[in-house]
Chains A and B, each alone.
Chain A
Amino acid sequence: MIVFDVVLMVTLWVLAVGAVSQADLFKSVVLFVTMGVVVAVAWARLGAADLAMVEVAVGAGITGALFLNTLGHLEQRPGERGEGEDTSHL
């Protein structure tokens, strides 16, 4: 079991390092989602079943979807509306 713990945690750490150090943003988002899955497995291993469920649904699922949505937004050209400074609201 110890072997399992160690392997799990090493995978987790490698995924985390990969997520923040990849040049390709999409790749790091995928690594991030994967990391969420591994974290959920870790919660399950620690006997926190409800946490594992929330982590998969929220920590990996919704957060991952939000990140993907943002990437999609950033791949479009910057919008035409509201360019420049808005100094009237000091």
Chain B
Amino acid sequence: MIVVAALVLGSFSAALIRIWRGPSGADRMMGAQLFGSSGAATVLVLAAMLEDWSLIDVALVFASLAAVTVVAFVERTERASMPQ
């Protein structure tokens, strides 16, 4: 359990660094995605620790968040790169 928690923490900090440092928008977006996945992992660990297995559903929704934000991000870059 401890090992898993440490791994999750490591990916959290990696995501944070990517978000903070950039350098490009896509990097930051990928950082946010990694953050979402780490969040899902955290919730799973929490589910094991609290023995509240309904939290697994929450982890599923975390995973689907990635789709929404990526679509929004891609749409934004598409629009920004359109000829004016």
- Give residues in A with beta carbon < 8 Å to B: 1, 11, 18, 26-27, 30-31, 33-34, 37-38, 40-41, 44-45, 47, 49, 52-53, 56-57, 60-62, 64-65, 68-69, 71-73, 75-77
Q: For A37, what are the chain B residues with a Cβ–Cβ distance below 8 Å?
A: 32, 35-36, 39, 62, 65
Question: A32: nearest residue on chain B (CB-CB)?
Answer: B32
Q: Which of B49, B52, B54, B77 has the most CB atoms of chain A within a 10 A radius of its CB? A: B54
In the assembly, what is the distance between CA of A18 and CA of B19, in Å? 11
Contact of B72 with A40 in the complex, beta carbons under 8 Å: no
Please report the total number of B residues contacting A with Cβ < 8 Å: 41
Contact of A41 with B46 in the complex, beta carbons under 8 Å: yes
Q: For A64, what are the chain B residues with a Cβ–Cβ distance below 8 Å?
A: 68-69, 72
Scoring B residues 12 to 23 as 1 if CB is less than 8 Å from chain A, else 0, what string do you get? 100110011010
Question: A24: nearest residue on chain B (CB-CB)?
Answer: B22
- Give residues in B with beta carbon < 8 Å to A: 12, 15-16, 19-20, 22, 25, 28-29, 31-32, 35-36, 39, 42-43, 46-47, 49-50, 52, 54-55, 57-58, 61-62, 64-65, 68-69, 71-73, 75-77, 79-80, 82, 84
Q: How many A-B pairs fall under 8 Å by CB?
A: 105
CB distance from B41 to the nearest CB of A (A): 10
Given contacts A47-B50, A56-B58, contact A40 B39 (CB under 8 A): yes
Q: For A45, what are the chain B residues with a Cβ–Cβ distance below 8 Å?
A: 46
CB distance from B51 to the nearest CB of A (A): 11
Contact of B71 with A65 in the complex, beta carbons under 8 Å: yes
Q: For B16, what are the chain A residues with a Cβ–Cβ distance below 8 Å?
A: 11, 34
16 contacts between A and B (CB under 8 A): A34-B31, A34-B32, A37-B39, A40-B39, A40-B58, A41-B39, A44-B46, A44-B47, A49-B58, A52-B43, A56-B58, A57-B68, A61-B64, A64-B72, A68-B73, A68-B75
